[in-house]
Every structure is written in structure tokens, then in C-alpha cells.
Amino acid sequence: MTETILAVEGLHKSFGSLNVLRGIDLQIHEGEVVALIGASGSGKSTLLRCVNRLESPTSGTVRFRDKVLTNENVNTIRREIGMVFQRFHLFPHLTALQNITLAPCKVLGLSEQEAERDARELLEQVRLEAKADNFPGELSGGQQQRVAIARALALKPAVLLFDEPTSALDPELVGEVLEVIGELAKQGRTMLIATHEMQFAQEVAHRVVFLHGGEIHEQGTPAELFRNPKQERTQEFLARILNR
């Protein structure tokens, strides 16, 4: 087993009287791909948002390597832990290329030339080299999400978080985005992916974590969890989502 890169310990998150996360313990190893599944409202987004500090945990800790993230500057965290959102969140007034070069120039201090060279390589990786100069409004949802993935990669993060990266897409555009994420998995990238795409989770993830009511209710390899779920709630959830 490789080294633990991310460790969530006793994580609780409440919004007022609503206890959304109720003691999450989750370790992710270098190069591991973990799929996070669970019904809507089970706390997947909140967990991801606590990991990259878009939310502050109510209690508990998140460690990245030897750093406790609550003690760190938010920018340090975001450089190491990239995030791709359901709704892309590209800057509408910037081209695909500019969306990708912005942060490396500002955060990593790269020159425009260096950032642009990297960005063109990344666009090639997500198969959008021809769209460098297009604005998000001129791209399909699948293309926008691939630009968002390239943008996240531009900071050379150690871990990538995905929050239902294909949920906002028309069905025919889902495959092109999953394919790019699948390639990242093959390259050995460490990723935590909230998804409702069970086939994809089965093929790409090393481990599947089922969240229910703000707790990890069951986890295992895709084979264990999909073929032989032990908990009744996991069985119910899978039956519901697979029979849609």
C-alpha cells in the first residue's frame, strides 16, 4: 500500500441544527481513486468542500500529508487539492486558454509563456486543443467540463476532487468527460470522485465509499460493494440507482 496522502479524521459538519457530517474517517493513499456514492443530501458535496476548505469543519481534522489543513493558508490547500464542480464554474469572460493560465500565473508565479505552454498541453490532454480561444459560452457542457478539468490540473495538484462532474451534462456528453477522468486514473492520479455513475465507479475506482446520513455506511472494492453489498441501506440505494 502506498503512503496516505489525505486523512479525514472524526469530521463533523453542521449547518445550524442540521448535522450533515457525523464523524467521517477516511484515508486516501497516493495513487488511489475513491468513488464517493450516496443519495442526494447524504453529504458528499459537504465532505468534498470540507476537504478543500470551501467549508470549515465543525470539528475533526483533515490532513494532507503531514499538514493539518485547518492550520494552513487556504491557498496552500487549493494548490495541492484541486476541485472540479458539477457546474464547471469557468470564468465566462475568459477563453478556455485564459481560464487555465490564470491561476498558474497568479498562484504559482509562472510567466505567461510558461503558463500558456502548460495550458496547451493540458488542452491536448482533454482533447480540446482546437478550442483554446473559445469562450465557455461557445462550448458544450462536456467541453466546458473538460476545460475545468484542465484548469484544475494546471496547478499540478497532488489530489483531485470531483463533485458529480457529469451530473449537469446531457447524457450524450457524459462519456467524453468520464473518459478523460478515466485516463487520469490510469496515470496514477489520486482522486476522490462523488458520482452517480455506477458503471464508471466500478471500472475506475479502487475503492467505493457509500455515504448515508452523513456517515460512511459501507466501503469496499467495487466488486465487494456492487456485487455483494452487506448493509441493507447500501442494497436499497444500489437497487434504486441501478434500476433507474
Q: How far is the CB of 45 from Mg ion (least distance, A)?
A: 3
Binding residue for ligand ADP, selected from 6, 32, 38, 234, defined by CB under 6 A: 38
**Smallest distance, Mg ion to C-beta of residue 225, A:** 19
Work out the number of other CB atoms within 10 angstroms of the CB of residue 187. 8
Of 137, 46, 136, nearest to 99 (Cα)?
Answer: 136
At its nearest, how many Å lie between ligand ADP and the CB of residue 12? 13
The answer to whether 192 and 34 are in contact (CB under 8 A) is yes
Q: How far apart are CB 18 and ligand ADP at their closest, in Å?
A: 6
Q: From CA 153, how far away is CA 133, in angstroms rounded?
A: 19
Decide: is 152 part of the binding site for ligand ADP (CB under 6 A): no
Q: Is 216 in the site for ligand ADP (CB under 6 A)?
A: no
Q: Give the x-and-dash track for 21-50 against Mg ion (CB under 5 A).
A: -----------------------xx-----
Does 157 contact ligand ADP by CB under 6 A? no
Q: Choose among ligand ADP, Mg ion, none what residue 41 binds, the Cβ cut-off being 5 to 8 Å by kind.
A: ligand ADP
Q: Does 46 bind ligand ADP (CB under 6 A)?
A: yes
CA dist., res. 202 & res. 213, Å (int): 23
Q: How far is the CB of 48 from Mg ion (least distance, A)?
A: 8
Count, residues near ligand ADP per rule CB under 6 A: 11
Binding test (CB under 6 A) with ligand ADP, winner from 2, 15, 91, 133: 15
Nearest to 136 by CA among 84, 94, 83: 94
How far is residue 155's CA from residue 122's CA, in Å, rounded to a whole number?
Answer: 11
Residues in the chain, how many?
244
**26 DSSP β-pair partners:** 8
Selection from 156, 160, 92 nearest residue 118 by Cα: 156
**Window of 37-45, 110-118, 120-128, 229-237 that interacts with ligand ADP by CB under 6 A:** 37-45
Please name the residue ranges forming H helices in the chain. 44-51, 74-80, 96-107, 112-125, 141-154, 171-186, 198-204, 222, 232-242
Please tell me the distance from the alpha carbon of residue 12 to that of residue 244, in angstroms, as a whole number.
32
Tell me which residues touch Mg ion (CB under 5 A).
Answer: 44-45
Tell me which residues touch ligand ADP (CB under 6 A).
Answer: 15, 18, 20, 38, 40-46
